[in-house]
Amino acid sequence: MKERYNRLSVVKEIIKSNRIDNQDALLSLLKEKGFEVTQATLSRDLKMLKVGKISDGWSGYYYALPENDLVSESEKSYIQDVRRGIVSIEFSGNMGVIKTRSGHANSVAFALDTLSLPEILGTLAGDDTIFCILREGMTKEDLLESFKTRIPEIKD
């Protein structure tokens, strides 16, 4: 989990400091920094960091990090819903149960789905419980790392 957090920080620094126009170049620079990852892992990292490609106006596209100010008000609202509602998280394999305050499960599940966390395949909400399915190959630790990045107040 700590390795992923460190890798995400390095990815951000590489993108800030270099003009990167493809994943192969980014993978190469990550390797130089001591991080051997697959293209699929890098794609998930880029999605989590909300990295996009922008046009340079004449010869192509390059990766860019979102500006902190670009976090929309609605996204802040969804993050607040998750923050307020979650009481506990427990997983068995890729299936999890997220306990919420009474009456908060629907808003928290909707927020998790809307935030498009790459680890979550889908959710099903009751009154105070959310059934959560993680994508193939994802773990509770991956989800908690994603929370640490996007919703830091959530603890396991």
Predicted local distance difference test score (pLDDT) of residue 38: 92
Q: Which fold has domain 2-67?
A: Arc Repressor Mutant, subunit A (1.10.10)
| pLDDT at residue 137 greater than cutoff 50 | yes
| pLDDT at residue 13 greater than cutoff 60 | yes
| pLDDT at residue 134 greater than cutoff 50 | yes
Domain boundaries, the chain: 2-67, 71-150
| pLDDT at residue 67 greater than cutoff 60 | yes
Per cent of the chain over pLDDT 70 is 90
Q: How far apart are CA 3 and CA 32, in angstroms?
A: 15
| pLDDT at residue 71 greater than cutoff 60 | no
Diameter over CA atoms, the chain: 54
141 class by beta-carbon count within 10 Å (0-12 exposed, 13-18 middle, 19+ buried): middle
**In the predicted model, what is the mean pLDDT of the chain?**
85
The alpha carbon dihedral of 74, 75, 76, 82 has a sign of: positive
Confidence of residue 69 (pLDDT cuts 50, 70, 90): very low
Interval 116-137 mean pLDDT: 91
Q: How far apart are CA 114 and CA 53, in angstroms?
A: 21
Q: How far apart are CA 50 and CA 44, in angstroms?
A: 10
Bridge partners (DSSP) listed for residue 64: 52
| Helix (H) or strand (E) run with residue 133 in it | strand 129-134
| pLDDT at residue 70 greater than cutoff 50 | no
Pick the CATH number of 71-150 from 1.10.10.10, 3.30.1360.40, 3.40.50.170, 3.40.309.10: 3.30.1360.40
Residue pLDDT, tens place only, 18-66: 888 899 999 999 999 999 999 998 998 888 888 888 887 777 888 888 7
